[in-house]
Amino acid sequence: MTEEFPGPKTKAVLERGITLFRNGLKFESEMEKAGRRGFRAVRQIVVDKAKGDFVWDMDGKRYIDFQNGWATNPLGNTHPEIIEAVHQAQNRYGFHYDHPLRYDLAEMLADIMPAKALPRFNYEVSGTEAAEAAVHLALTHTKRRYIITFDSSFHGCSIATKVLGGYSAEKSTYLESWAGGAIKAPYPYSDQIPAGMDESQYVEYCLWYLDNHITSCIAAKDNIAGILVEPGLAEGGNWIPTSGFLQGIRKICDANDWLMISDEVLTGLGRTGKMWGVDHYDVIPDILVVGKNLSGGIEPCAGIAARDDILGDNDAFSSGSTFAGTPAGCAAGIKTLEIYERDKVVEHAAHLSRVAGDIMSGWEQYDIVRQVRASGLLMGVSFKKPHDAPADEEDWWTARAVRGKMLEHGVWAISDQAVTIRMYPALNMDEKVLREGLEVMETAIRHVNEHGHTEGNMPPYPTGSAGF
């Protein structure tokens, strides 16, 4: 089985990517280099069909879907009611900027915003655009120049969101001159805790950095517009902040007259077992960024919600490109929210997260497991190399090896070049399927724990999507 995976049809499609996509030019030489050291190709699939909790590759092999369109399918793949609603909107409106569905969805969103305190909405196409829009709104509302963001955060793939996010110093090369308005602060995640500090001391330090270090050494507090924060680092490795950190940010924002912007593109709309990530911390942001799940897994839809006084009267702010708030995107969002209410989807997600928590609670006993971290169905497991591994082996190879074994046995999760495997099951996943997927994952962990691995450092096939 190992030799034939991925199957021939999947492999043939992946190979077409070598001449078409990023890094194809260096693929052969990298494969040869890795092959000389005895490593296997990183496993990848190409989705040929998607339905409910599953996807199928080009060879007809079925996988439990923990990848979830990169956390964009809250109700599973190709939900028929959402597809129907999208088709109806397309048939009726085609594409026009103004149509009644924009109003309907904005009303529904106002109703579910934290404490109903963010009643105004501005549509965007993607989470990237929405995060940028939130920052522009904050700058223009406060008439200030700086935004504080965090290392290891992720806000998108435009130049602005790259410099706002936690790109490493190396990856930020050539972007230096674009980063003038972003001030980076440490996010208190536990791998970074300096020696001698415990977690709560490090949280205190990070808050001190925001409130004191930045304002005394980097920018005057009256020139800072706000803090852009994810209430749970997702792309940055599934780090879940403490209440003290999020509540501390709220207090600092209030004390300094800064805006708190919560980027909920990934944590929002039920992913964490509550409607919004901030709901776990009892804080209300001034601006909230939403995307991903709002698409219902069918049609992009994103935007920002804000307080009346922030978005209700601001001539300097403008945003919303041609395809922001399409009829199809809004129809997808409306149907998704209707199903959330009808099927109590967020409650189901919270239940599933307890089931998953019970199953994963013993995993830290494995030598290669560093930590299990989850908030609702924002789930991740970070890995380290086995204790007897060669010195030059890197921890992320272990994550890759586990994830490869999972794929081989029919479970698809996310592991890019990182030490963490992330799992984003649909919020309405069948409990039996969730249990089966996690059982396969534990078997994969046990296998790599016992046998080590010989994969992980082969170059991935260049793919048409981020198909890790």
Ligand X SMILES: Cc1ncc(COP(=O)(O)O)c(C=O)c1O
Cα separation, 213 vs 217, in Å, equals 6
Beta-bridged to residue 64, according to DSSP, are 54, 411
Number of residues written out for the chain: 468
User: In this chain, which stretch among 151-159, 253-261, 336-344, 392-400 interacts with ligand X, using CB under 6 A?
Assistant: 151-159
Q: Which residue is nearest to ligand X (CB)?
A: 127
241 binds ligand X, rule: CB under 6 A: no
Cα separation, 282 vs 250, in Å, equals 10
- Residue closer to ligand X (CB basis): 302 or 401: 302
462 binds ligand X, rule: CB under 6 A: no
Query: Minimum distance from CB of 268 to ligand X (Å)?
Result: 9
Query: Minimum distance from CB of 70 to ligand X (Å)?
Result: 6
Query: Minimum distance from CB of 160 to ligand X (Å)?
Result: 11
Per-residue DSSP letters for 44-85?
---EEEEEBTEEEETT--EEEESSHHHHT-TT-BT-HHHHHH
- Residue closer to ligand X (CB basis): 156 or 333: 156
Q: Are strands 287-290 and 411-412 parallel, antiparallel or unpaired?
A: unpaired
234 binds ligand X, rule: CB under 6 A: yes
Residue found by looking up tokens 């990169």 in the block: 70
Query: Minimum distance from CB of 72 to ligand X (Å)?
Result: 8
- Provide the Cα torsion 61, 350, 357, 187; round to 10°: 100
Task: Enumerate residues 285-304 that contact ligand X by CB under 6 A.
Answer: 291-292
Per-residue DSSP letters for 377-405?
TEEEEEE---TTS-TT--HHHHHHHHHHH
3-state secondary structure of 149: strand
- Residue closer to ligand X (CB basis): 302 or 399: 302
232 binds ligand X, rule: CB under 6 A: no
328 binds ligand X, rule: CB under 6 A: no
Query: Minimum distance from CB of 427 to ligand X (Å)?
Result: 16
Binds ligand X (CB under 6 A): choice among 43, 102, 141, 155: 155
Binds ligand X (CB under 6 A): choice among 59, 65, 211, 235: 235
- Residue closer to ligand X (CB basis): 154 or 397: 154
- Residue closer to ligand X (CB basis): 104 or 416: 416
127 binds ligand X, rule: CB under 6 A: yes
Binds ligand X (CB under 6 A): choice among 65, 263, 286, 408: 263
Instruction: Determine phi and psi for 418, rounding to 5 degrees.
Output: -145, 160
Q: Quick check: 455 and 6 in contact, CB under 8 A?
A: no
Binds ligand X (CB under 6 A): choice among 10, 77, 126, 326: 126
3-state secondary structure of 56: strand
Binds ligand X (CB under 6 A): choice among 265, 372, 433, 434: 265
Query: Minimum distance from CB of 123 to ligand X (Å)?
Result: 13
Cα separation, 52 vs 161, in Å, equals 32
Cα separation, 223 vs 82, in Å, equals 44
Query: Minimum distance from CB of 196 to ligand X (Å)?
Result: 31
- Residue closer to ligand X (CB basis): 210 or 266: 266
Binds ligand X (CB under 6 A): choice among 5, 27, 154, 461: 154
Per-residue DSSP letters for 283-322?
---SEEEE-GGGGTTTS--EEEEE-HHHHSS-TT-----T
| Tokens representing residue 99 in the block | 């149509």
- Residue closer to ligand X (CB basis): 27 or 154: 154
Q: How many CB atoms lie within 10 A of CB 354?
A: 11
Per DSSP, the chain holds a count of helices (H) and strands (E) of 14, 14
Q: Which residues bind ligand X (CB under 6 A)?
A: 126-128, 131, 154-156, 230, 234-235, 263, 265-266, 291-292
